[in-house]
Structure 1
Amino acid sequence: MGLTGSGFLALCVAFGLVVIGIALWALTRISGRGPGPLLARLGVLVAAQLAAISMVAVAVNDNFQFYTSMSDVMGTANNADNVVVKGVDPQPPVTGGKGQQGKPYDSVQIHSGILPAATARTSGEILDVTVRGAKSRLSSQAYVYLPPAYFSSAYAHRRMPGLVVMPGYPSTASNLIMRMNYPWAMESQIKHHRARPMVLVMTNETVTPPRDTECTNVAHGPKAETFLAQDLTDAISAKFRVDRPGAGWGLMGDSTGGFCAVKMAMNYPHRFTSAVSLSGYYHAIMDFTTGDLFGGNRNLQHMNDPEWLLRHRPAPPVSVLVTTSRTESQVLPDTRKFLSMVKPPMRASSIILTSGGHNFGAWKGEMPPSLDWLSAHLWAVANGGHPALSTKRSLANPPVTRHRAALHQRRHA
């Protein structure tokens, strides 16, 4: 039995109520003074409190799907060696033309480097920057990872693809480094020749904290989507040797960040060509963390709903990779529904893990093959090619050891 589902929840609640009932009964039977009876009463109260806290914790976990198995809790599930990408044979990247050094752009302020500058040629560099939006008038912190190749003579006059990476809500961009280890995963994939260099722009999807804007141009409020989809990429491509917004840019995120990635790729296909959603959802939500995002404007709500867009609008010419697991009972049905709705010229791929929760452990296992997928697509499309749809070969990945994940390429000619 997993750690989610009505059966496990009912069992835990029943056990907790029994423990609390026994505790109440025991308190009426413990009498006398002195250290012994006092410690006995204290032990009974602690047991009752732990039972109540455990019931609440199980209920919260069941609702949000953080951990679906003990391997999730122990951190042993779905590491990079456990994920294999099947059924995808992207067109090999083509050597493209040269670009020019980006001119300094006032909208990007570099505060400091996180890695020693002396190791940039071997390990890359992570820069802590603040980006100020020219159109949205918003500003937000971001971390820019420049891979080792950025500092090599071979790329001295060439631009690289750019990838906007966003966490879920209420996480922060720093977790993309400290918990998800994006820069080191990117470096590893490059060193093992599974991916080509990309510049990572790790930023918050929550650009006006603590409000969760769902990456939306809020009615009578902050223009979060304009900042993330336009201001951010314009500023970074002007400051660094990164492709101009268009064929060489992609999006990636987990949970809410995954929703934002797919939504913005569909709304801005002229600025992004590929997106990855790690356990994301595909329709707009509103709750106490978002407030009223749309102000009664139905058209604004529809434009922030990928499923509505696929039902009522022509599909955009973008490629998306969506992931979940068979034990994510809330995300899995929505993911399958979204995949069934994709139509040409849009292309969709998926990673479905055998098990895994809505947590960093599962996403860290899906991240390396997702970076490979993005690298192949962005380099190929940016140089005028198109990822092939052949299923004869798979991207180079470590063999499966325990949990198996299949990536299925939908054929849309």
Structure 2
Amino acid sequence: MGLTSSGFLALCVAFGLVVIGLALWALSRISGRGPGPLLARLGVLVAAQLAALAMVAVAVNDNFQFYTSVSDITGTANNADNVVVKGVDPQPPVTNGKGQQGKPYDSVQIHSGILPAATARTSGEILDTTVRGAKSGLSSQAFVYLPPAYFSPAYAHRRMPGLVVMPGYPSTASNLIMRMNYPWAMESQIKHHRAKPMVLVMTNETVTPPRDTECTDVAHGPKAETFLARDLTDAISAKFRVDRPGAGWGLMGDSTGGFCAVKLAMNYPHRFTSAVSLSGYYHAIMDFTTGDLFGGNRHLQHMNDPEWMLRHRPAPPVSVLVTTSRTETQVLPDTRKFLSMVKPPMRASSIILTSGGHNFGAWKGEMPPSLDWLSAHLWSVANAGQPATSAKRSLANPPVTRHRAVLHQRPHA
């Protein structure tokens, strides 16, 4: 019985109600003065409150599916070495490798380094920056991770692929470092020859907090999509030795960040070639955190619905990797539906864990093979279509199995 099963929820609610009922009965029976009866009444009240809090916690966890098993809570549910990527091999569309170059403006202000500068050649460097958008007029914090190879003479005159990484909502860019450990995961995959170096641009897709824009150019509001898809990549490419948009840029995120990654890749295939969604969804959410995103504009609403785009428009030439687990019952059906709708020239792969919830523990287990997958795709594009796993074996085979899967188009409704 999983932590998000209806049986477990019913059992917890029933147990909680019994405890509260017994507490009310016990309070009517406890009488007298002095420390003994006082402590007894206090204990009964605490037991009733704990029972009520437990019911609320189980109900909230059941709704959001943060933890689906005890091992999920303890962090032992996932092992990155056992994660299997199912789908197509890394064969992104061939591009001319030139991409589009933004204006040479200095819109990145570097505040400080997170890691000591002396460790740059061995562990890389993390820079705390503010990116100012020339087209959107927005500004946002971004942590830029430069891998050790960035400082190596071998790469002194070579640009690297760039990867925009986004968290869920509500969250902050710092969680990508402190909770998800993206820089250290990237460093580890490079050291074990499972991935080639990439520059990580870790930023919050919530560019106008606390409002959740769903990475949208909001009608009569902030142009979050323009900032994330155009301003951010243009600014980083102009400041650092990173490929120009269209010549080796990808996206990755969890939950809302995963939705944004897939949506932006589909809307901007001339700028992004690959995207990874960790437990993402495939329709823009509208609630009290977002407000009115579309202002009655049906076209804008459709462009924020990847499933609608696959159903009604030609598929874009991008590659996506989507992940979830068999116990994440709210995300799993939508993920399978999305995969069934993918058609050429779009390509899709998937990671479906046996168990795991909507939390950092599950995503951290999926992150290493996802970075390997992205590295293979982005370096293929950066090398003008040459496979990343060439005869020179510049990228060792990651500890996952890849196999081809036939993806069927979903019939029109």
Is TM > 0.5 for Structure 1 vs Structure 2? yes
Distance 1:175 1:391, change over 3 A: farther
* Residue 155 of structure 1: how far off its partner (Å): 0.3
Distance 1:306 1:410, change over 3 A: closer
Deviations 1:201-221, CA, capped at 9 Å, x for gaps: 000010000000000000000
Conservation of the 8 A alpha-carbon contact between 1:89 and 1:392: no
Deviations 1:44-76, CA, capped at 9 Å, x for gaps: 000000000000000100010100000111111
User: For the residues of structure 1 that align with 2:212 and 2:302, how far apart are their CA atoms?
Assistant: 18
Decide which moves more: 399-408 or 102-111: 399-408
Uncovered stretches (5+) of structure 2, i.e. residues with no partner: none
Conservation of the 8 A alpha-carbon contact between 1:92 and 1:376: no
Distance 1:116 1:246, change over 3 A: same
* Residue 85 of structure 1: how far off its partner (Å): 3.5
Alignment-derived partner of residue 315 in structure 1: 315
User: For the residues of structure 2 that align with 1:85 and 1:110, how far apart are their CA atoms?
Assistant: 37
Report the RMSD for the aligned CA atoms in angstroms: 4.2
TM-score (norm 2): 0.92
Conservation of the 8 A alpha-carbon contact between 1:89 and 1:390: no
Conservation of the 8 A alpha-carbon contact between 1:89 and 1:393: no
User: For the residues of structure 1 that align with 2:192 and 2:67, how far apart are their CA atoms?
Assistant: 31
Distance 1:393 1:354, change over 3 A: farther
* Residue 391 of structure 1: how far off its partner (Å): 18
Conservation of the 8 A alpha-carbon contact between 2:145 and 2:183: yes
* Residue 104 of structure 1: how far off its partner (Å): 7.5
Deviations 1:71-104, CA, capped at 9 Å, x for gaps: 1111111132332445664369999999999997
Distance 1:101 1:153, change over 3 A: farther
Deviations 1:126-153, CA, capped at 9 Å, x for gaps: 0000000000000000000000000000
User: For the residues of structure 1 that align with 2:397 and 2:362, how far apart are their CA atoms?
Assistant: 17
Conservation of the 8 A alpha-carbon contact between 1:352 and 1:407: no
Decide which moves more: 95-104 or 71-80: 95-104
Distance 1:405 1:209, change over 3 A: farther
Seq. identity, % = 93
Decide which moves more: 262-271 or 392-401: 392-401
Distance 1:31 1:405, change over 3 A: farther
TM-score (norm 1): 0.92
Decide which moves more: 143-152 or 390-399: 390-399
User: For the residues of structure 2 that align with 1:107 and 1:151, how far apart are their CA atoms?
Assistant: 22
User: For the residues of structure 2 that align with 1:92 and 1:301, how far apart are their CA atoms?
Assistant: 28
Conservation of the 8 A alpha-carbon contact between 2:99 and 2:247: no
Q: Secondary structure at the match of 1:320?
A: strand
* Residue 410 of structure 1: how far off its partner (Å): 14
Decide which moves more: 98-107 or 280-289: 98-107
User: For the residues of structure 1 that align with 2:392 and 2:136, how far apart are their CA atoms?
Assistant: 46
User: For the residues of structure 1 that align with 2:410 and 2:337, how far apart are their CA atoms?
Assistant: 14
Conservation of the 8 A alpha-carbon contact between 2:341 and 2:408: no
Conservation of the 8 A alpha-carbon contact between 1:351 and 1:406: no
Distance 1:246 1:83, change over 3 A: same
Distance 1:114 1:394, change over 3 A: closer
* Residue 6 of structure 1: how far off its partner (Å): 1.5
Distance 1:99 1:387, change over 3 A: closer
Distance 1:136 1:401, change over 3 A: closer
1:61 aligns with 2:61: yes
Alignment-derived partner of residue 170 in structure 1: 170
